[in-house]
Structure 1
Amino acid sequence: MQQSYRQARLARRIIRRQAATRPMATLYGVIQQPLDELVYRLSSGRTTASGWLAGLEIAMLTTTGARTGLPRTVPVLPLPDGDRTILIASNFGRPHHPSWYYNLRAHPAATIVLGGTAREVVARELQGDEREQCYRRGEEVFPGFSSYRRWTQREIPVLTLDTAGGDNDQLP
């Protein structure tokens, strides 16, 4: 379970709040993924830079490339919710969706490694009240989601990753 912003230690709250500013979101948009991947490898999968600095548990999401069909692994901020995991495709408030979103639209089956445990999942995009409720939950953990929503004109997608073999076999 992700620790809420208010529950995090002061230093970690400051780091999370900085990511909600345009200059830092721009910087993090460039360095976060490679830095998280490097720390993840160096720590043998125990942590990421975001986990260590901001106290956010980062998951590694492996999707199938929408155009290439090749496996693509990226760090994402998961919001565990019972048996499912919620992902917010904010892309730091940029005008376009992150590549993993397009990959999941084309190929909803994926693998997520969270807390050292790999799970086969199927993505489903949320709509309406369910989407809004999950987005607000994300804002409780990471205040940057509030800023990102204001900065972009696109509707930021919210997805749920359900355990494969459940009722949801694909994105609508």
Structure 2
Amino acid sequence: MAEQDQAQRLQWNQQIIEEFRANKGVVGGPFAGGTLLLLTTRGARTGEQRTMPLAALPAGEGQWAVFAANGGRPTRPGWYYNLLAHPTEVTVEIGTETFAAVAADAEGEQRAALWAAQLARLPALEEFQATAPGPIPVVVLTRR
């Protein structure tokens, strides 16, 4: 059952990725009206390129924040482990722009500010935090 669930999530993500690229970064459904980016990482175990659509928040000049909430599942998302293993092998697509980035966990006041801002936009994060294995990581992607 878990394999079927994962296959459905991957198929859904692929549809979002295709819609994003076909419509210059604009998508409908649950992401309509929000800021979405595509994050491409190198697999921590496989070394293969992986692309995921993620809700994002501006985090400063040339920076975007993403949140490793994994939809409320009690594990971290795979892309988070990919970033830990290869923080400098990151590509971000947002709107019509594509750029190389470096990933780093936000900490302290920066994390608190980004978390509060995203929580105001996506209140479901609070529910996701209740099932997460510790504080949900806030990752800042900085343009190289």
**TM tier, smaller:** 0.7 to 0.9
What residue number does 2:41 align with?
A: 63
**Mapping 1:52-131, distance limit 5 Å:** 54-82=32-60, 83-109=62-88, 110-131=90-111
**Secondary structure, aligned partner of 2:22:** coil
User: Quick check: 1:41 aligned with 2:7?
Assistant: no
Identity over aligned residues, as a percent? 30
What is the match of residue 15 of structure 1? Answer: none
Alpha-carbon RMSD: 2.3
Instruction: Decide whether the 8 Å contact of 1:62 with 1:111 is kept in 2.
Output: yes
Q: Secondary structure at the match of 1:48?
A: coil
User: Does the residue aligned with 1:154 lie in a helix, a strand or coil?
Assistant: coil
**Counterpart code for 2:57:** L
Name whichever of 70-79 and 39-48 sits farther off. 39-48
Q: Summarize deviations over 1:40-75 as a string: whole Å, max 9, x none.
A: 425643233446x64223211100000111111111
Letter of the aligned partner of 2:43 in structure 1? G
Q: Which whole-Å CA distance do the structure 1 matches of 2:112 and 2:7 have between them?
A: 27
Distance 1:100 1:50, change over 3 A: farther
Number of corresponding residues: 136
What is the distance in 2 between the residues matched to 1:75 and 1:54? 13
The runs of 5 or more residues in structure 1 that have no matched partner are 1-27, 165-172
Query: What residue ranges of structure 2 are gaps of 5+ in the alignment?
Result: none
> In 2, are the aligned partners of 1:37 and 1:48 still within 8 Å (CA)?
no
Taking a change above 3 Å as real, the CA distance of residues 127 and 43 of structure 1, as seen in their structure-2 partners, is closer
Amino acid at match of 1:74: M
Could you say if the C-alpha distance between residues 45 and 112 of structure 1 is closer, same or farther in structure 2, counting changes exceeding 3 Å?
A: farther
- TM-score for the superposition, normalised by structure 2: 0.82
CA distance in 2, matches of 1:138, 1:66: 27
Instruction: Tell me the equivalent position of 1:144.
Output: 124
- TM-score scaled by length of structure 1: 0.70
Q: Which has the higher strand share?
A: 2
